[in-house]
Amino acid sequence: MSQELTPEQIQQALQGISVPPQPQIMVDLQMEQYMPDPDLGVISRLISQDPGLSGALLKIVNSPHYGLTVKIASIQRAVNLLGSRTVINLINALSIRGEMTDETIVTLNRFWDSAQDVANTSMTLAKRIGSQTVDEAYALGLFHDCGIPLMLKRFPNYMDVLEQGYANASPTMRVVDTENEALNTNHAVVGYFTAKSWRLPEHVSNAIANHHNALAIFEDDSGRNAPLKNLLAVLKMAEHICASHRVLGNQSEDHEWNAIGHLILDYVGLSDYDFENLKESIRELAAH
């Protein structure tokens, strides 16, 4: 059913996509597209490792042009719907948008590594605990911090502020409160608007907006917000397993998890012992 897009339509679709793609993934994609018979499976696997590329792809496939009745979060489905020619044109259009300095690439490596690890761990967790939304758990893992590169572009000292936010996190202080005080906005808000511009499903965008607001959400045990809680529970467990507090926050202690972990494990019905076993088996899986 793939309908090819014109270069003009692709350029129009890329308006507002400013999360830069990972240079190495762009190189691998360029190499694959020059093969005599480019493999869509390889292409979709490479794209699904990168938040900027995946966002661009989902924005196009969820646009009115494709007329889907329900917005999708599956990168594999998006690649299949778009077809190889449109996907390759999209990659080429993104590859010529603004080079980054070496310094920016080094800083963003933390963001890219964390996004991939949390996405893969979210997918594994969703499968292990029998979640119905494996694709969306992966997408949230990949996109939850997509506001970080945009904040970095706007505020050169942003990573210092983010690290301070992780250091300050407590039952009374959210990671994003430090950003709000210092910069009058935060990566969760910016990420939410980015996700909206990418036309991600609404509850995935809402989970991005609230991913450092888990304490308030899980303290409300009224039975409301079940789709949001289901997604956030998987994400927060994945962030803890992947040690986002160390990778992005430069902290030895996961203060945020200490404040919310018991509520999340209660919600998904796991004991501390169960979760420790799950954590070990997922970390062993990642090490191979």
List, as own/partner pairs, every contact residues 79-82 make where C-beta atoms lie below 8 angstroms and the sequence separation is at least 24, other chains included.
Answer: 79/40, 79/43, 79/44, 79/47, 80/2, 80/40, 80/44, 81/1, 81/2, 82/2, 82/5, 82/57
Q: What is the pLDDT of residue 3?
A: 58
List, as own/partner pairs, every contact residues 8-11 make where C-beta atoms lie below 8 angstroms and the sequence separation is at least 24, other chains included.
Answer: 9/65, 10/60, 10/86, 10/89, 10/90, 10/93, 11/93
Separation between Cα atoms, residue 275 and residue 234, nearest integer Å: 12
Give, rounded to a whole angstrom, the gap between the first and last alpha carbons of the chain.
38
Identify any residues that bridge with 170 across adjacent strands, giving them in sequence order.
173
Q: What is the pLDDT of residue 104?
A: 85
Query: Which single residue is written with the structure tokens 């990671």?
Result: 175
- Tell me the CATH architecture of domain 102-287: Orthogonal Bundle (1.10)
Separation between Cα atoms, residue 51 and residue 111, nearest integer Å: 10
Determine what percent of the chain falls in helix, strand and coil, rounding each to the nearest 5. 70, 0, 30
Separation between Cα atoms, residue 111 and residue 190, nearest integer Å: 15
Separation between Cα atoms, residue 102 and residue 23, nearest integer Å: 11
Domain with CATH 1.10.3210.10 in the chain: 102-287
Condensed to tens digits (0 to 9), the pLDDT of residues 200-254 reads: 999 999 999 999 999 999 999 887 889 999 999 999 999 999 999 999 999 999 9
Q: What is the pLDDT of residue 272?
A: 96
- Please give the chain's pLDDT, 288 residues, in tens: 445 656 676 566 556 557 888 888 988 988 888 888 888 899 999 999 999 999 989 988 998 878 888 999 999 999 999 888 888 878 877 765 556 788 888 889 999 999 999 999 999 999 998 887 899 999 999 999 999 998 998 898 999 999 999 999 999 999 999 999 999 999 999 999 999 888 899 999 999 999 999 999 999 988 788 999 999 999 999 999 999 999 999 999 999 999 999 999 999 999 999 999 999 999 888 766
Do residues 86 and 255 touch, judged by C-beta distance below 8 A? no
Q: What is the pLDDT of residue 106?
A: 86
Q: What is the pLDDT of residue 2?
A: 47
Q: What is the pLDDT of residue 275?
A: 96
The pair of structure tokens assigned to 24 is 């190495």
Separation between Cα atoms, residue 257 and residue 241, nearest integer Å: 10
Q: What is the pLDDT of residue 97?
A: 55
